[in-house]
């Protein structure tokens, strides 16, 4: 498992996060580190730095972790979560500027194929207009 880049899905909605992870699993099974989180600290729509940090930890790989986010607050909270990680981990986590569902599936497929973190990120970001 640790030979593949980890994928983290962060949505405002726990159902979107779970459903996206289901779609990823359909492509790559259990062969890459994958975790997801959604919802504010009370479980309503929103995101939580604590949950994102835990999700990054759960999908940790020495080859790095790619994070897929939906709307603004998910990105801002993910950036904050990355900055609160131990220093040696911070440089190994990237947020992909990509649509969450398509980006997660593409990133996971790249990771499954053995791609590096940079390749995973680049492939996911090809989905976004430059």
Partner 1 sequence: MTLDIRLLTQALAARVIAGADELTALDSAIGDADHGLNMKRGFEAVLGDLDSIAAKPLPDALKAVGTALVMKVGGASGPLYGTLFLTLGKELGSSPGVADCGRALATAVQAMKARGKSDLGQKTMLDVLGPVAELLMTGETDADAVRKKAKSLAEATIPMKATRGRASFLGERSIGHMDPGARSSELMIDAVCDVLEGRT
Taking the least distance from each CB to partner 1, the nearer of 28 and 98 is 98
Rg (CA), the chain: 13
Element (H, E) at 124: helix 117-125
- From candidates 26, 29, 76, 126, binder to partner 1 by CB under 8 A: 76
CA 18-22-27 angle, to 5 degrees, is 150
- Span from 70-78, 91-99, 107-115, 120-128 in contact with partner 1 (CB under 8 A): 70-78
In angstroms, the CA 31 to CA 72 distance is 30
Per CB under 8 A, does 79 bind partner 1?
A: yes
- Of the pair 30, 129, the CB lying nearest partner 1 is at 129
Please, which residue, 15 or 22, has the CB nearer to partner 1? 15
- Which 35-54 residues touch partner 1, going by CB under 8 A? 40-42, 44-50
**From the candidates 4, 12, 63, 92, which is the catalytic residue?**
12
DSSP result, 19-45: HHHHHHHHHHTTSS-EEEEES-TTSSS
Q: Of the two residues 34 and 100, which places its CB atom closer to partner 1 in the complex?
A: 100
**Known catalytic membership, residue 61:** no
Q: Assess contact for 123 and 107: CB atoms under 8 A.
A: yes
Q: How far apart are CA 130 and CA 114, in angstroms?
A: 25
Paired with 14 in beta bridges are none
What are the residue numbers of the active site?
Answer: 12
Residues contributing to the site for partner 1 (CB under 8 A): 40-42, 44-50, 71-73, 76-77, 79-80, 84
């Amino acid at each position: 498992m640790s030979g593949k880049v980890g994928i983290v899905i962060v949505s405002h909605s726990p159902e979107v996060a779970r459903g996206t992870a289901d779609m990823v699993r359909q492509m790559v099974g259990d062969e890459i580190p994958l975790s997801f989180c959604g919802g504010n600290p009370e479980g309503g729509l929103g995101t939580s730095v604590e949950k994102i940090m835990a999700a990054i930890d759960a999908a940790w790989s020495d080859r790095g972790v790619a994070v897929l986010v939906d709307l603004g607050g998910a990105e801002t909270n993910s950036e904050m979560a990355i900055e609160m990680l131990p220093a040696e981990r911070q440089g190994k986590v990237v947020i992909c500027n990509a649509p969450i569902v398509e980006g997660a599936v593409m990133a996971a497929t790249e990771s499954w194929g053995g791609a590096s973190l940079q390749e995973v990120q680049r492939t996911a970001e090809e989905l976004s207009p430059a």
